[in-house]
Structure 1
Amino acid sequence: MILFYALSQLNLLVNYLQANRKASATNYQVPTKADLPYVTIQLPVFNELYVIERLLENIALIDYPKDKLEIQVLDDSTDESLEITSMEVDKLQNLGFDIQHIMRTDRSGYKAGALKEGLKTAKGEFIAIFDADFLPQPDWLLKTVGYFQDPDIGVVQTRWSHLNRNYSILTQIQAFALDAHFTLEQVGRNSKGHFINFNGTAGIWRKQTIYDAGNWQGDTLTEDLDLSYRAQLKQWKFKYLEDVTTPAELPIVISAARSQQFRWNKGGAENFQKMFKRVLSSKTISAKTKFHGILHLLNSTMFLNVLIVAVLSIPMLYIKNEYEHLKVYFIVMSFFVISTLIFFVCYWYMYRNIYGGGFKNFVTYIGMFFTFFSIAMGFSLHNSIAVIEGHIGKRSEFVRTPKFNLTAVGSNWKANKYLRKKLSPNVVIEGLLTLYFIFGLYSAFIVGDQGGDFGLFPFHLMLVIGFGFVFIRSLTDKQ
């Protein structure tokens, strides 16, 4: 499964390079002010005390005629941020903005429910969505709405950039993973007409598309992926813009990263269960698009596969060196090595595209890749639990990722009231797995009678680094 996924990434790299080589002709024209359509901006928020003012001040800078722009603050908050939001909305109303503060009495459907509620009264023909930590550029709408001149396009999605990429190792590896998704994967799929996903924010929908696809549904934790697949199965086209970036904040604390990762990975598994039969039985999409679609929906399940490979690798090391006739069966372990090399090549092109080539950047990339790969494996237990829950249909609430706005609170982030104070019980198991893989390193020296077996040593070293990092940061990122 991991090898199949790696091969699909390699195919996406080929697509990505082809897409970059030929300047894709487009009939996009910036509409004149008279021709601009009516747009509703939806801002789904929940207890965003630290970023709500920044969000609304930034949205007020959007360069778009006020008589063709509506702003909906979809506020499910239960704390004092409600009052701050109300005051900010009043200010903008006094400045002539058509802005509504929409509050629900319950959070049924979570973010999907809030978006659906706002849609009932939305005046816009097109619906732009931004999460609370996203800061679109003033010309964002002017760069996106023109693509809807093609009546088949239902969604325009833009690339995320990162306000705090270099804050820490944790933010750097999150940025690395997201950059791979927003370059290699999104361009690679979109350029060949394969299914991509609206990323929940920094994109704009044709309202008709949302209704035609069955509206927002709250039965998965990734309502954006769900609606994206339903819309594309209805033959709506998606347009991805790599060159339009929208900066946002990355989680700086591992508990915040955990909650985000849990939601994304569980939601991916839930959507696989919900959508894979519809994708396979569709008569309107090609076999290749089905292949990429299924592996896209199985993306989060790769964490479970990696965890299984990791845990079994130590007993495998002993069996391989005790039973000569079984060695042939362990050649399949090379599949994982091949997969790692494929990921290394694919991500280098992504990295080079963002930071430039050259020997110095390549050396930096090698360090970043192995750091990323190690820490991703360190998250594999946490994410595997999320994946299993998603596949078996266990329900859980939508937990928003705490935002920090470090420019406002500085180094005082530990005072953030939304931080989880309780340590996850999984941390204990992650600590034990760190010790287990240290034993794997030791085993390399003692197995067999030929002076050891070091074939898995680099793999076990990365696992020690990854699980050790996640374990230690989980203990230290507390008050």
Structure 2
Amino acid sequence: MVWLIVAGLIAVTLLTFVMTIAQLDLYRRYWFSVLRKDCQREVPPLPESLPRVTIQLPIYNESPVVNRLLEAASRIDYPHDLLQIQVLDDSTDDCSKILVEKVAEIQQREPSLNIQYRHRIDRTGYKAGNLDEGTTWATGEFIAIFDADFVPKPDYLQQTIRYFQSEDTAIVQSRWGHLNPESSIVTRVQQFFLDGHLSVEQRGRGDSDLFLIYNGSAGIWRKQVIVDCGGWMTTAAIEDVDMSYRAQLRGKKIVYLEDYTTPGELPDSMIALRLQLFRWWKGNLQIAIKYIRQVWQSDYPLIKKLHATTHLFGPLMSAVTFANIILAGAVPLIVTWYPETRYWLASTLLGVALIPVLFLVYGTGRIRFGEGSHWQKILGVIPLGSMLMVLHSGLSCQHTVSAFEAFFTKKNVWVVTPKGFSSTGSSQAKRRRVKIPWYFWLDALVIVYLIACGWIALMFQFYMIAALQGLWIGGFLWVLGGSLWEATKDQRAFSFSSAEKDHLENAAAELSPGSMESATLAS
């Protein structure tokens, strides 16, 4: 048993070191691209004849932000005779009423704008099914997609459509900006993590001709690629990564624009963040299981296959972290009672190399795009990077559960991330009552275990391990405590009254027949 624990710790260290090398290589590739002038992508001119474009706005119960979304979409600078806006509504609450009224308002103000509203009663396939159905009646050669919490700029199509010069280009993805990065420590840590992903990881892969992904919003697709790939995969928890790999395995390319941003909203809620990340981690691993064989059977270079592997299976690093947290509790007893293991366990210090690499990778976004002086931005990396590691440890248990579900279950349940944290309005519109998932409660057991392990570490004078366990306890207290605090707050649930249903039906009937394929009310 002792040697099994030692072997487990060494295996954890080796896996961590492999990920460290992969991340360090992406960091090198990114800065090579940024610093070398001959690596800079030239901005192509707009095509002489602009193509038809469809804008898809998939929506589900997102009342606080939909007016803002539709207003921004209606102000995109593009010839109206070449533009179609699809409002794809899956809502089951008063969001549908708001959408119908807003669509009618835009039609009255912009009669030449082709904006169409469709409401599904059957949410088969969730977001993917909604997009897939919209694609069947999309008139555009290209399809731009914006989630409800994004605010596209007026020049979005002007800035992106110009990059479809090659028929091999499947999608142009803009970098996400952030509407509310200063709302709380939760949003600041998310910004820190996402900016590193959206700069080093996305551009590092894109400019090196490695596999990368469409981020699920603020991207514009060539419609024929979606059709050729068989449409959006309605059984996938994250349809964006699934479509990205299907397209690239067919030889298509993703163009990533780091210098052009489309702002979106960050969840200012621990529950919302946890639900979102659970779906992302589980979905990414499902895609890994589905496509890893095709990746290695392809004719792509070895380095491209290796990076695809670390990318697809990257979420397993959370399970690796959790295994390290659990196994480390036994180290003081093992070293004390079995001193011959000391030298083997010393090799686990190799895993510490990941820490400075994480600061480099995820700190790059803040250094390049953050506000303040150069030194302020560099010094700001230290507290944010530290908070990211604490949060990562606190989320490791739930991510381990997501990994088990990815490998051993096929059922997916779509839980939309609550939105409206950056919009004007009462705070009660920001959070809705959400049933606490069962795996949240596992954090309490881990906290009790870590407290016991910390006490043992102090007794045997393993102060470094005790300090680490203190940080891990802080991480689990943060994610569990924050979740329970939000869950017990007085929250307002939105519902449809019979009067609102009648109002929605009347408003839908008033929409001009030529502007709406169908408008169906939920019963």
Of 442, 453, 457 in structure 2, the residue corresponding to residue 429 of structure 1 is: 442
Distance 1:458 1:342, change over 3 A: farther
Q: What are the superposed Cα offsets for residues 251-297 of structure 1, whole Å, 9 maximum, x if unpaired?
A: 111111111111111101111111111111112x1111111111111
Of 82, 87, 92 in structure 2, the residue corresponding to residue 78 of structure 1 is: 92
Of 451, 470, 479 in structure 1, the residue corresponding to residue 479 of structure 2 is: 470
Residues in 1 aligned to 2:225 and 2:206: alpha-carbon distance in whole angstroms: 18
Q: What are the equivalent positions in structure 2 for 1:8-27 lying under 5 Å apart?
A: 8-23=22-37, 24-26=39-41
CA RMSD of aligned residues (A): 1.7
Residues in 2 aligned to 1:336 and 1:419: alpha-carbon distance in whole angstroms: 40
1:321 positional shift: 2.6
Residues in 2 aligned to 1:458 and 1:158: alpha-carbon distance in whole angstroms: 41
Residues 30, 142 of structure 1: 8 Å contact kept: no
Q: What are the superposed Cα offsets for residues 283-329 of structure 1, whole Å, 9 maximum, x if unpaired?
A: 2x111111111111112111111101111111123212321111122
Partner of 1:149: 165
SS in 1 for 2:384: helix
Residues in 1 aligned to 2:150 and 2:423: alpha-carbon distance in whole angstroms: 14
Gaps of 5+ in 2: 1-14, 490-523
Residues in 2 aligned to 1:98 and 1:22: alpha-carbon distance in whole angstroms: 44
Residues 3, 338 of structure 1: 8 Å contact kept: yes
Residues in 2 aligned to 1:27 and 1:368: alpha-carbon distance in whole angstroms: 34
Residues in 1 aligned to 2:194 and 2:422: alpha-carbon distance in whole angstroms: 20
1:239 positional shift: 0.4
Letter in 2 for 1:47: N
Q: What are the equivalent positions in structure 2 for 1:101-120 lying under 5 Å apart?
A: 101-120=117-136
Residues in 1 aligned to 2:252 and 2:264: alpha-carbon distance in whole angstroms: 28
1:64 positional shift: 0.8
Residues in 2 aligned to 1:25 and 1:314: alpha-carbon distance in whole angstroms: 49
Tell me if 1:64 matches 2:78: yes
Of 341, 344, 347 in structure 2, the residue corresponding to residue 329 of structure 1 is: 344
Residues in 2 aligned to 1:25 and 1:177: alpha-carbon distance in whole angstroms: 24
Tell me if 1:454 matches 2:468: no
Residues in 1 aligned to 2:467 and 2:410: alpha-carbon distance in whole angstroms: 36
1:359 positional shift: 4.0
Q: What are the superposed Cα offsets for residues 102-161 of structure 1, whole Å, 9 maximum, x if unpaired?
A: 222311111111111111111111000000000011111101000001222111001111
Letter in 1 for 2:57: L
1:30 positional shift: 3.1
Tell me if 1:183 matches 2:196: no
Partner of 2:385: 369
Partner of 1:439: 452
Aligned pair count reads 470
Residues in 2 aligned to 1:433 and 1:186: alpha-carbon distance in whole angstroms: 34
Whose relative contact order is higher, 1 or 2, with alpha carbons under 8 Å and at least 6 apart? 2
Residues 370, 462 of structure 1: 8 Å contact kept: no
Gaps of 5+ in 1: none
Letter in 2 for 1:465: G
Letter in 2 for 1:98: N
SS in 1 for 2:424: helix
Of 393, 396, 416 in structure 2, the residue corresponding to residue 380 of structure 1 is: 396
Residues in 2 aligned to 1:440 and 1:367: alpha-carbon distance in whole angstroms: 26
Distance 1:359 1:149, change over 3 A: closer
SS in 2 for 1:51: helix
Distance 1:406 1:350, change over 3 A: closer
Residues 126, 206 of structure 1: 8 Å contact kept: yes
1:357 positional shift: 6.6
Tell me if 1:318 matches 2:348: no
Q: What are the superposed Cα offsets for residues 339-364 of structure 1, whole Å, 9 maximum, x if unpaired?
A: 22221233333332123774443332
Q: What are the superposed Cα offsets for residues 388-423 of structure 1, whole Å, 9 maximum, x if unpaired?
A: 10111331211111112443224x23x546431x33
Residues 427, 471 of structure 1: 8 Å contact kept: yes
Residues in 2 aligned to 1:205 and 1:387: alpha-carbon distance in whole angstroms: 30
SS in 2 for 1:246: strand
1:367 positional shift: 1.1
Q: What are the superposed Cα offsets for residues 15-35 of structure 1, whole Å, 9 maximum, x if unpaired?
A: 000010123354542316x52
Residues in 1 aligned to 2:310 and 2:454: alpha-carbon distance in whole angstroms: 32
Q: What are the equivalent positions in structure 2 for 1:277-288 lying under 5 Å apart?
A: 277-283=293-299, 285-288=300-303
Letter in 2 for 1:348: G
Tell me if 1:49 matches 2:58: no
1:460 positional shift: 1.8
Residues in 1 aligned to 2:483 and 2:307: alpha-carbon distance in whole angstroms: 35
Residues in 2 aligned to 1:282 and 1:257: alpha-carbon distance in whole angstroms: 36
Residues in 1 aligned to 2:468 and 2:287: alpha-carbon distance in whole angstroms: 31
Partner of 2:309: 294
Partner of 1:123: 139
Letter in 2 for 1:293: A
Residues 232, 243 of structure 2: 8 Å contact kept: yes
Partner of 2:230: 214
Of 190, 193, 197 in structure 1, the residue corresponding to residue 213 of structure 2 is: 197
**TM-score normalized by structure 2?**
0.86
Q: What are the equivalent positions in structure 2 for 1:128-139 lying under 5 Å apart?
A: 128-139=144-155
Partner of 1:227: 243
Letter in 2 for 1:132: A
SS in 2 for 1:149: coil
Q: What are the superposed Cα offsets for residues 147-186 of structure 1, whole Å, 9 maximum, x if unpaired?
A: 0012221110011111111111111111111111101100
Partner of 1:40: 54
Letter in 1 for 2:232: W
Partner of 2:494: none
Of 226, 240, 252 in structure 2, the residue corresponding to residue 236 of structure 1 is: 252
Q: What are the superposed Cα offsets for residues 196-232 of structure 1, whole Å, 9 maximum, x if unpaired?
A: 0001100000111112222211121010000100100
**TM-score normalized by structure 1?**
0.94
Residues 49, 80 of structure 1: 8 Å contact kept: yes
